[in-house]
Structure formats: C-alpha cells, structure tokens
Structure 1
Amino acid sequence: MLAAMPPTPPPPPEPGEARIRDRGDACPGALRLHPADDGRLARLRLPGGRLTVRQIEVLALVAETLGDGRISITSRGNAELRGLGDGCGAELAGLLAGAGLLPSPTHERVRNIVASPASGLDGLGYADVQLWARALDTALCAEPRAASLSGRFLFLLDDGRGDVAGLGGDVSLVAGEGGTVLLWLGARVFRLAADDAVRAALTAALAFLDAAETAGNGAWRPRELPEGHVPDWAGALARAGIPAEPVPVPPLPESPPPAPGPLGEHALHVLAPLGRLTAAQLRALPPAGEIRLTPWRGAVVTTDPARLPELESYGLITRPDAPGAGVTACTGRPGCAKSLADVRADALAAPPGPLPVHFSGCARRCGHPYGAWTGVLATGDDTYLVDGAPTPRTSLTAAVAAARALPTHTR
C-alpha cells in the first residue's frame, strides 16, 4: 500500500498578488506558549544569540525543572523550551524576567535580531555588529509601535564577512569599509554612516508598519505587501534626519558558516547535535563571559580553544568531519502531531557530507537551513523524499550520502 502523502500546502500568491493575512501572527514566545504533542513550547528571542553565564544557568534550570531537560536552538539563533506543563507560564515568566531574558513583555516576540556570531572575536569583519544588536534591541523595546511587528519580522546585522546577510532578513545592515554600512530593504539599498545604523534599522521597520497599515492586508513582512504599497524608505530615513544615499543593488556578501572548531585565539564554535542541547551541555559551554547561539544551531563561546576536547566529551560537535555535523531536523514524532515519522531518530544515522542536510516530518519543512542544502522529507513511517526522489527508509543512508554531494535546494 502506498504511504499517505502529506497535505499539499496552499499555492503561493501569483506574482504581484499580495498574501492576505486575516489573523494575527501566532508565533510562540516566552509568554505565548504553543501547545504541542509533547507539552507546551516557549520560544525565547535572544538578540545576537547572546547569553550570559547567569542566563545560561537559569535557562538550564528552567529546562530541567519545567521542561524536558533540553534547549533547542532555532535557525535564528533563538532558544526553545519544550515539554512545558500547562500551568507553568507565570513561573517561567518570573524566572526569565529575573535573568534579564524578558526585558519587555510587550515586545518579547519582536526581538528577532541575528548578528554575525563571531563579530568582534576573530579579527574579521568591518564592525562589531554584536554591539549593534544590543543597541537595536534596546531601541526596539523603547518604541511602543515596534510591538506591532510580527514575530517573524527579521533584522540581520552582518559585519561584512557575509555569514548572515543571506538569511532572508526584512531589514539588513551590512558593515563596510570606512565606517559605512549598507541598509538592505528588499530591492532598495542605501549607504549610510555606521553611527546611524541602529536608528536606520528601526526607522525602516516603522516605515513598513506604516505601509502595512495603509495596505490593509495584514502583512507580516515587507514581501507580503501588495503592489503600490512599497514603504517610503527614503522619505522615512530623511524625516528621521538620517543621511542615506540610494545605491544600485550590489551582490550580497556571502560566506559559509564557520566550521566547528577554533575561532581565532580566544573563541571557538561548537554545534549542538540535531540542534538540541541538554542542560548539562549548555552549562559546560562557558567558564566565564558569554556565549552566542548561532543560526546554524550551535554556539560561539568566548573561551580558550584548548577546551575543545573537553566540550567534545559532552557530546558536542567540535570538528567539521564529526558525526552529526551539518545535520538538522524538525521536532518530528512524537512531539509534533503533523509529523509523519520520527525524523530525529532517522537523522542520527545521516552520513557526513559537504552540504547541510535537514530532515522534515511534513511538507512545512520547519527550521530548514538557507542557502544550499539537502532536503529529506517524510512521506510515511518508512518512506522519504530525498531531494524529491522517493526513497524507502532502508535506503535512506545511501541516498542522503549521494544527495549531500549535489546542492539542489537554495533559498
């Protein structure tokens, strides 16, 4: 008997036709918990992925006492807690607020800021955009209108190396030479002074809200606005007193994520197996200072690279050729009712390869990477599509090994 195929998602709007959003964004947060088959889920926005030692301890404690003992790292470098009980919301909020992880209850879901994780640590890049991330977070939380942004609206801050510029941001800042920055707003690009970068990013987000209100289609992101409702980016920047020069759209800077291992002389990069850390693994990361969770489901740690063998002993991925490097998966069964398979169990057997590979339990493909990647999609308990090719579970390892050598998915 043929395996049941996943439901076909609705077709995207035709070119020039805007998506109609007839409800508010239902993205989970730290206060809005999402019901799942394995309990409730909380998503904590971490601008720049940053966690202090104190916050790490609180997050590990929360995972152990209120959740399933693990912390998931999202493709935006945020943290998720799963397996939460129905009545834990007030206790969870109190613990997070006490650790500085919930600075604004009204803005907690809009603090989506991805910044180059190694910025300021390895001598690369034109600016320390981690400092911009903190300043932008403060500015967002201080602006009442910013609370109306969707939980999916994304700010990208790239220090010029090109590691995060291509991750699909709505407002992107790319640092350049001589104290300049390029502000990317879809098909419009402006050059401005780096000192104005944070103000310009917030101004652009508010200009989108103006356009979305006028359009009336409930757009969550600029790409969903109908024709004729492009935000007045230039006018908004001018009214804010920010000198901004429109420039022809250049190629986006692009570089691969840092490989697991040392980052300069004072930091290192490790990956979490399938994007999930145990509380013990999280606690093992920093002897002092901070860590930065990454969009590649790992962490940049400010520590002596000589600690790599110690961290490997905790089951963390510290080498690019280690088992599990570049392998991610959605929640799958039993945690997600929509999943058609226990994709996390099957992903553990994924062979190494140069391309990232993502296992998805249904056609939504939650949490897939950007750029070139190999897609493994469950169509039933024992069948998959590997980059679109029907594959029985018994042949999955060989099919994934072959597919990881040939990039077919880009976004």
Structure 2
Amino acid sequence: MLAAMPDSAPSPLSVGGPSPRDGGDACPGTLRLHRADDGALARVRVPGGVLSADRADALLAVAGRFGDGELHLTSRGNVQLRGLDAECGGGPAELLGAAGLLPSAAHERARNIVASPLAGLDGSPSVGGWLSELDGLVCGSADAAALSGRFLFALDSGRGDVDALGADVTLIAEGDGCLLRVGAADEVFRLRAADGPRAALLAAEAFLRAARDSGAWRVKDLPDGVRAALVRAIGAAAGPAVHHPRPAAPKVPAPGLVTAPDHSTTATVTATAPVTVTAISVGVPLGRLAPAQWRLLTETARRYGNELRLTPWRGIIVPGPFGPSELSDHSGSSGHSGPASEALDTLAAAGLITGPDSPWTGVGACIGHPGCAKSLSDVRAEAGAAVGPVGRLPVYWSGCERRCGHPHGEWIDVVVTPDGHRISHVRGEHRDPRAAVRDNPAELAAAVAAARA
C-alpha cells in the first residue's frame, strides 16, 4: 500500500492558513458566484460527470428558478448555471445541497474529478468504485480543502481519453492494478488498484506542501526543480517509476449507440446482426442545453439506467441497459433498430448531435459576448454561421486570448483579436503559423472549413 509522503517534506498547509495564493483563486463554485455580463454564474462540480436523474432534475430546477433556465456543460464535465439573479443569495446552494450535489461546503470547488465516460460500457473496466472513494477522501481531508478550483484529478479506464487531458493527478487502470501519473510526466508509478484513490489524495496533499512557497495552482505551475522534487517524493512512497507517455490526444466518445465490445458505432453492417447496446452517446452543440433538451435526456435516463454521464467534451452518455438491437442498413438513421435507436432518433429531433455526420460535430466555443465582458465578439453566433461540412479536426472559437475551455490534443484554434480572427492549427504544444482573417463572415467560414479539412 502507498505510504504517506516522507517526513522530510514541508508540513502540509492548514485550511485557511496563510498562503501566497489566498484570495487569488477566482474559480466560481456554488457558494462563490462569478459576476458575468449576463448575470451571476455558478459552477456545480459533478465528480466524474455522473448524475442520477433526480439530481439532474434538481439542476434544472435551480436553473429555472434562479437563472436563465439553460444548463451549460464545461470542459471538465461540470455544469454552469448562468444569468443568476444577484439577489439569489444562498437559494441555489440550499436546493443543490438538498439534492446531494453539495456534500461539503469546504470542498465544493476541490471536487474536480473527470472520469472515462464509457468506463464499464465499452469493454473497459468501471472506475465507479474509484470515483466514489476518491470523492469521499477529498471531502474528508482538511488539507484538500486548500486545493484550488483549477486542480484536476482524472480517472482513466485504460482508454487513454481523460489521461490525455493533462490533469494534475491521474489514475489509469491497467490489468488488475493501476498507474499513478503526476502532472504531465511520462513516468508513472504502478500500484494496486485498491490503493489508487488514497494514492491520488496523498499526491494532491504533497502538491499543496510543494506549492506553499511558490503559490502554484496546479502541478504544471510549479518551478521545474520543485515539480521534479515532488515527483521524486511521491516515487519514494509509491515505488519504481514506469515509462508510460501521456496520449497526445483524447479518444473522444463518438456520438451514436455504444455497443458491447468488438462492435463499432460507425461500422457499416450489411447483414442483420444482434448486438447489445450499452449506452447512447450524444453531443451538445456548443455545450448549451435548453430546458426541454435537458428534460428529455433526464426522462431517457430515468427510463433505462437512471444515470447521465457528462463528458469533458461537452457531450452526454446515457447508460442502459437497452437490451438487444438489430444492426441493419434499412432501419433508421443510426443503422440500428430497437429501443435505443428510437431514443437516439428522439434526441436527434431535439437538436442534439447523434451521429458523426452532424455539422456541429467537433465545433466548440467559449461563452463569448454578451455573456463575457472580455470577449471581443459573439463567437457562438459566429461559430453557428460558419457551420458547414464535417471537418477532420475539431474547431474551437474563443472571444479573447484567454481561450477559456479550449480542447486538448489537435484542433483548429480560432481567436478573435482587435484586427479580426486568428486561425491556428494546434497540435499539443506546437502551433502552426497563424492566418488572420478580417471581419468578413464568408471569408472566415471558408478559412475555418479549409483549416479543418
């Protein structure tokens, strides 16, 4: 079992104790709201993106009673409620707490945990046990309350999806054990699967000790020498390191039906063949859900597995069981027949992304103007106007240089500048030479389409 960090490490931060970071973490939560141009904003942490239907109902109720009624998915699988009345007081937190969405007021912004959304559904192992245990450990640690709202845990089922997101502490399932990664290091530590959640918490607490003097919010913010010493300290407790490079790009769940192992949601099938549909995968255009769409997703979940899984790519997985389905070239837009196909068609009619041929596939944007005062343009409207044929690469539109919520891996980066729009091809840390487009909608749409192709 992973031991505690060596005694030679600096003493841990005390909750509420002096720190160069005190007062500087502006990440919103449920208790501390952010003032945006369209009203106050609350960010509700949903560890692993996992919501029961009842908790999904509670989120919708809060959005309707106190906000603009819509629900916005974030790049960490959380939910943002926008347009909240500045006089709402503790009303949202009271309702969310009653629904079990606020188990610890001290830790509400520290519960940043992403998890492989298809874990246990596509043949990869479930990480549900890890998720429950880690969330409980974080909420039970006085030191963990000092983690910033930017610090991120990731639980990867071995698919390499959330491992590619650059979390601060990542657990990766491997056979009957697991790997522990700290930051973006290519070296990982092999552990027993049962020791993974506690090892992740100890690594986060060790980060807090290392960050005490530097004021770093995340592992990547630490000075190089401090970061290397942190990894060495964790290795001294965890055991020998193993070379395991982080994936360059996440394996994003494709929209459509998720079937049992060895079946592809996009394969062309010429003969009728029974398969087991384990889940439905949908994308959400620009991550924004109208009340009717959220209600439909919740009703679908309640009819089958009673669960929604919000993905870090602004999508939603509805686990089954849906029972057997027939693969056929002549049965609906999905190529399947059965209850899952019918549910998918209903979600498609509601405006959600249910297949790879949707023009919205791979299109993302920050909130833009008028919701954000720093944005130089209404990038969501611009992204919608530029939607065209499906591109090979995803595209993300940002209203300013902060590029909030941008993806990882490889994508086309569109940033509004005072002189127009800058279009770049990003691959990890590499950025191709930039092209600038003046304010010409037709020219901009053509340039983005060409870059994505």
**Larger gyration radius, structure 1 or structure 2:** 2
Query: Equivalent residue for 1:404?
Result: 452
CA distance in 1, matches of 2:57, 2:310: 15
The 5 Å alignment of 1:77-92 reads 77-92=77-92
Give, in angstroms, the shift of residue 238 of structure 1: 6.2
CA distance in 2, matches of 1:66, 1:342: 24
Query: Equivalent residue for 1:291?
Result: 308
Structure 1 spans left out of the alignment, 5+ residues: 1-19, 406-411
- Higher deviation after alignment, 41-50 or 57-66: 57-66
Percent identity over paired residues: 53
CA distance in 2, matches of 1:378, 1:397: 14
Q: For residues 273-331 of structure 1, what are the alpha-carbon distances to aligned partners after superposition, in whole Å with 9 as ceiling and x for unaligned?
A: 11111121111113421101001101011143321001111111111111211111111
* 360, 367, 371: which one aligns with 1:331: 367
Query: Equivalent residue for 1:11?
Result: none
Report the 3-state secondary structure (helix = DSSP H, G, I; strand = E; otherwise coil) of the residue aligned with 1:348: helix
Query: Equivalent residue for 1:100?
Result: 100
Report the 3-state secondary structure (helix = DSSP H, G, I; strand = E; otherwise coil) of the residue aligned with 1:80: strand
Task: Report the CA distance shift for 1:229/1:238 in structure 2 as closer, same or farther (over 3 A).
Answer: closer
The 5 Å alignment of 1:8-407 reads 23-123=23-123, 125=124, 127-177=125-175, 179-186=176-183, 187=185, 188-213=187-212, 216-230=213-227, 231-233=229-231, 235=233, 244-250=239-245, 252=247, 256-264=251-259, 265-285=277-297, 286-288=300-302, 289-303=306-320, 304=322, 305-306=340-341, 307-349=343-385, 350-351=387-388, 352-380=390-418, 383-387=420-424, 388-391=434-437, 392-394=439-441, 395-405=443-453
CA distance in 1, matches of 2:146, 2:24: 10
Given that residues 249 and 408 in structure 2 are in contact (C-alpha distance below 8 angstroms), is that contact kept between their aligned partners in structure 1?
no
Report the 3-state secondary structure (helix = DSSP H, G, I; strand = E; otherwise coil) of the residue aligned with 2:102: coil
- Stretches (4+) displaced over 4 A: 20-23, 231-239
Q: CA RMSD in A?
A: 1.9
Aligned residues: 377
Given that residues 207 and 233 in structure 1 are in contact (C-alpha distance below 8 angstroms), is that contact kept between their aligned partners in structure 2?
no
CA distance in 2, matches of 1:362, 1:151: 21
Q: For residues 224-264 of structure 1, what are the alpha-carbon distances to aligned partners after superposition, in whole Å with 9 as ceiling and x for unaligned?
A: 2224423545655766xxx5332234454865201110111
Return the letter of the residue paired with 2:400: C
Given that residues 180 and 191 in structure 2 are in contact (C-alpha distance below 8 angstroms), is that contact kept between their aligned partners in structure 1?
yes
CA distance in 1, matches of 2:236, 2:450: 52
Given that residues 190 and 241 in structure 2 are in contact (C-alpha distance below 8 angstroms), is that contact kept between their aligned partners in structure 1?
yes
Bigger relative CO (Cα 8 Å, ≥ 6 apart): 1
CA distance in 1, matches of 2:158, 2:248: 7
Task: Report the CA distance shift for 1:117/1:312 in structure 2 as closer, same or farther (over 3 A).
Answer: same
Return the letter of the residue paired with 1:225: L
Return the letter of the residue paired with 2:223: P
Q: For residues 154-212 of structure 1, what are the alpha-carbon distances to aligned partners after superposition, in whole Å with 9 as ceiling and x for unaligned?
A: 111111011111101100111112x1111111334101111111111001001111111
Query: Equivalent residue for 1:10?
Result: none
Report the 3-state secondary structure (helix = DSSP H, G, I; strand = E; otherwise coil) of the residue aligned with 1:65: helix
Give, in angstroms, the shift of residue 337 of structure 1: 0.7
- Higher deviation after alignment, 252-261 or 95-104: 252-261
Given that residues 75 and 296 in structure 1 are in contact (C-alpha distance below 8 angstroms), is that contact kept between their aligned partners in structure 2?
yes
Q: For residues 347-398 of structure 1, what are the alpha-carbon distances to aligned partners after superposition, in whole Å with 9 as ceiling and x for unaligned?
A: 1132221211111111111111111111111125x93122231113321111
TM-score (norm 1): 0.87
Return the letter of the residue paired with 2:146: S
CA distance in 2, matches of 1:345, 1:255: 27
Report the 3-state secondary structure (helix = DSSP H, G, I; strand = E; otherwise coil) of the residue aligned with 1:51: strand
